[in-house]
Amino acid sequence: MTAILILNGPNLNLLGTRQPEVYGTTTLNDIEKMCAQKAALLNIRVDMRQSNHEGVLIDWIHAARGSFDGIIINAGAYTHTSIALMDAISSVAIPTLELHLSNIHEREDFRRISYIGKVAFDLIMGHGAAGYPMALERMVEHLKTT
């Protein structure tokens, strides 16, 4: 069975209350339920995790080798700063899709830089919580063609 790891970075544990005008009112727990429902429809296994710590995210990426077929990552602010996450993704050679709730290209200038995008095969952004099930569909589609 296809297995997808969904990683969420810093401050995403505060979804639902953190800047709802930007990120919406859906909680990370709600998104996890949405992903579980979509995974059942796609007949895949999904493991969703969140950490505010860069090193923990890197450790999870490293540990994904041999256990997961793809990674979906919403690295939060680490998207724009973490060469270490970029290197980890590149090092494990697992197809990775970058995901964002908001459209990072329409926000502050510093958010337009994405180190994750340099090693991800695709980007889904600006769809709010609905982007997560979309990302699962896109990942399954990608894995079928590689």
Active site residue 23: yes
63 CB-near residues (< 8 Å, 6+ apart):
none
From 78, 100, 115, 132, active-site residue: 100
Going by C-alpha positions, the residue among 29, 26, 22, 20 that lies closest to residue 102 is: 22
Q: Are the CB atoms for 140 and 44 separated by under 8 Å?
A: yes
Token pair for 40 = 């059942």
Active site residue 105: no
From 23, 78, 115, 132, active-site residue: 23
Q: Which residue has the tokens 């894995």?
A: 143
As annotated, the active-site residues are 23, 100
